[in-house]
Amino acid sequence: MWQKLLIMGVIGLLAVDSALADTGARRRVALVIGNGAYAAQPLPGAVDDARTMAAALRDQGYSVVRHENLSGQRMREALLAFRRKLERGSVGVFYFAGHGMQVGPRVLLLPVDAAMDRPAQVLAQGTDLDLVLSQMTAPRPDQANVVMLDTCLDNPFQAGPASTPPLPPHTIIAYAAMPGQAALDRVGHGLWTAALQRAMQTPGRDIHEALSGAARQVAQDSANRQQPWFASTLTNSLAMATGANAPSPSSLPALAATDAGPFISRGVLPKDSAEQYELTFWESVKDSTHASDYEAYLQAYPNGRFAGLARARIERLRAAAGPKPEAPAPKPAPEKPRPVTPARKPAPETPPAPAAASPIEQPARAPASPATVPKSGADIRDCPACPVLVSVPQGVFTMGSNSSDPSEKPPHRVTIEAPFAIGKTEVTVEQWNACVEAGACPRVAEAARPPNSPARDISWDDAQVYVKWLTKVSGKPYRLPTEAEWEFAARGGSASRYWWGDEMKKGTANCKDCGDPWQADGPAPVASFAANGYGLYDMNGSVWEWVQDCWHSSYKGAPADGRAWEESFCPVRVIRGGSWRDGASYMPVTTRFKYDASVRHSQNGFRAARDLK
């Protein structure tokens, strides 16, 4: 098929520019995704195309990761993993076959769980091409990127001008269709596939020339219904391979454009008229209390029938919410179902004394000197503006669970090798504002909130600024807790689902199902509920808390010594504990999720930690 011949040219670079010479000695990485199992509009040919592409890449020495029929969450995770694999000096290839669309400047690649009958959700669920490009270029901005999209660029909303995102340097994107057009399938493979096969049967042919020839052929075969094109910022020729490792044209399956059979579109095809589809979109968002839903409508229909009303509702919602519009909750409930039956046998509600059978075990080595380490549970305050810390002992525990959430698996034994100190409460508005007034921290949406409420709208990057400021003013080594330290502290000396036992109790945490005090518009003041066995407040609920670690989708390969699990390139960090806006199913001590490190969200805060030396 055409993929083997195309990839032969892509990965057989002779030169992209002087900085990209001798690519053959460098690591080659590819991500191939074929999405075909869409409930409403299946595309079996997309998966077949992806399999052929992956095989061709492997034949040419690439390290290939291939995925089929990914959900939106798994597409995002696959891109993050791809970014980690793209080491500096590598050639990167991304291939996607499946449904897609274009809305204004956005090109969206659709996961198989996209709700095609709910237009607003389709916009939210699609993977943006901008995200693909940023994940490929950020780790190695001076290296070659090849993106191949066998998908549509049609706009099912039929509103708004079509354009494509700007390209980063050293990048070529091959599109199966022009903006606003559908990409067509025939006999189980893309029509573009057939044309590319014929265009690339000449070894050594420049990829720009080959793509131009394929575009002319597809336009002719489809009577101008589909016109492939490409965009490139390559400064030199990207030459095709010699053909030494490629299959002969006669060994490839024939996909002649004259094959019989109807065309199938790789775009979203609304069953309704354009007018009815717009009405369907509006009906799906008209009662929303989130400004982002109305913004999605305006993106699809900037001059639509309800555009004026959408803008008015956005203004009203922003005025009611303050300086920052409400964002979606960082962890939607459907992604993390919780079993009703407790995962473990009930544990005592007060932590047992340390013993061989205790769930929190003491390591064999001698403890640190009591002259230099505060007594376990002792309060520590290093400066007048510093938060109160609590000393947490060293110990051994089982981290994670066998719940239905894969990110909490596998449960694994972790040793906290030395005592550490962690905030008795989350950092409060008053404590955050002390850093703001010192000119060190950014001013966020805290001014009108009670000084003893947890600081929120805080990004991971903001939290790093704060702990560096604490280090400077106190002379102590402040930092965020590691994820292992956080869970160890949250357990409070127990091994149960919650620090108080295996059953949820009313009045033990600040969440919407957890009893009073609770209100929808903000968390309760810190320390409004009982402390756990280590004297720590609000580890369950209140606000999600940043920890130091990079996000990993499971604990496979996690450190066993309590240190932070870091990566060279880490745009997404772990948050723990749930928030006041979440239900009781988020309150177990093992609950974990993720957020972009640079994003501020109204439910995200943190607590400080430091070593005890």
- Domains of the chain in sequence order: 2-16+29-265 (3.40.50.1460), 274-321 (no CATH), 358-613 (3.90.1580.10)
Q: What is the pLDDT of residue 310?
A: 78
Residue 392, strand partner residues: 420
Give the pLDDT band (50/70/90) at residue 598. confident
| Closest among 251, 245, 216, 249 to 230, alpha carbons compared | 216
Cα–Cα dist 475/613, whole Å: 12
DSSP string, 5-64: HHHHHHHT-S-SSGGG--GGGS-EEEEEEE----SSS--HHHHHHHHHHHHHHHHTT-EE
Tokens found for residue 268:
């979203």
Percent of the chain scoring above 70 in pLDDT: 68
133-142, 354-363, 371-380, 496-505: the lowest-pLDDT one: 354-363
- 51: pLDDT strictly greater than 60: yes
Cα–Cα dist 234/232, whole Å: 6
Cα–Cα dist 608/465, whole Å: 11
Of residues 286 and 455, more confidence is placed in: 455
Peptide bond into 525 cis (omega under 30): no
Tokens found for residue 538:
């609000």
Residue 264, strand partner residues: 185
Element (H or E) spanning 149, and its range?
strand 145-150
Q: Is 260 helix (H, G, I), strand (E, B) or coil?
A: coil
Given the structure tokens 């972009």, which residue do they identify? 596
CB-CB contact of 417 with 394 (8 Å): yes
| Closest among 446, 475, 444 to 462, alpha carbons compared | 444
Q: What is the pLDDT of residue 319?
A: 74
Q: pLDDT tens digit string along 241-271?
A: 434 454 444 334 444 333 444 555 444 444 4
How far, rounded to the nearest angstrom, does the alpha carbon of residue 483 sit from its chain's CA centroid? Answer: 18
Residues found in the chain: 613
Q: pLDDT tens digit string along 407-461?
A: 999 999 999 999 999 999 999 999 999 999 999 998 886 556 889 999 999 999 9
Cα–Cα dist 391/475, whole Å: 18
Q: What is the pLDDT of residue 35?
A: 93
Task: Please list the alpha-helical segments (H only) found in 234-306.
Answer: 274-285, 291-300
Cα–Cα dist 268/238, whole Å: 33
Residue 479, strand partner residues: 609
Q: What is the pLDDT of residue 468?
A: 95
- 323: pLDDT strictly greater than 90: no
Cα–Cα dist 286/310, whole Å: 8
Cα–Cα dist 489/491, whole Å: 5
Element (H or E) spanning 423, and its range?
strand 420-423
pLDDT mean over 542-553:
95
Percent helix, strand, coil in the chain, to 5, is 25, 15, 55
- 135: pLDDT strictly greater than 60: yes
Residue 184, strand partner residues: 265
Query: How far is CA 297 from each of CA 287, 300, 553, rounded to the nearest angstrom?
Result: 13, 5, 32
Query: How high is the mean pLDDT of the chain?
Result: 75
- 138: pLDDT strictly greater than 60: yes
pLDDT mean over 72-86:
86
Phi, psi of 14 (to 5 degrees): -90, -40
- 405: pLDDT strictly greater than 90: no
| Closest among 561, 588, 559, 601 to 405, alpha carbons compared | 588
Tokens found for residue 471:
């280090």
Strand pairing class (28-34; 91-97)? parallel
Q: What is the pLDDT of residue 163?
A: 52
CB-CB contact of 518 with 584 (8 Å): no
Q: What is the pLDDT of residue 312?
A: 81
Give the pLDDT band (50/70/90) at residue 39. confident
Type of residue found at 155: N
How far, rounded to the nearest angstrom, does the alpha carbon of residue 75 sit from its chain's CA centroid? Answer: 9
Q: What is the pLDDT of residue 466?
A: 96
- 162: pLDDT strictly greater than 90: no
- 371: pLDDT strictly greater than 80: no
What's this model's pTM, rounded to 2 decimal places?
0.46
Peptide bond into 42 cis (omega under 30): no
DSSP string, 318-356: HHHH-SS-----SS-GGGS---SS-SS----SSPPPS-T
Cα–Cα dist 444/324, whole Å: 9
267 CB neighbour count, 10 Å cutoff: 21
Q: At what angle do helices 429-437 and 460-474 cross, to 10 degrees?
A: 70
Q: What is the pLDDT of residue 397?
A: 96
Of residues 146 and 152, more confidence is placed in: 146
CB-CB contact of 230 with 153 (8 Å): no
Tokens found for residue 530:
């009982």
Q: What is the pLDDT of residue 81?
A: 86
DSSP string, 368-422: PPTTTSPPTT-EE--STTSPPEEEE--EEEEES--SS-GGG-S-EEEEE-S-EEE
Whether the CA torsion 102, 28, 241, 58 is positive or negative: it is negative
Phi, psi of 471 (to 5 degrees): -60, -40
Q: Most confidently modeled of 35-49, 342-356, 360-374, 513-527?
A: 513-527
* Burial class, 389, CB count within 10 angstroms (exposed 0-12 / middle 13-18 / buried 19+): buried
- 15: pLDDT strictly greater than 90: no
CB-CB contact of 573 with 595 (8 Å): yes
3-17, 221-235, 421-435: the lowest-pLDDT one: 3-17
Q: What is the pLDDT of residue 52?
A: 80
Q: pLDDT tens digit string along 169-218?
A: 888 888 877 665 665 555 556 667 667 656 655 666 676 777 788 778 87
DSSP character for 85? H
Q: pLDDT tens digit string along 331-366?
A: 443 333 333 333 333 333 333 333 333 334 433 333
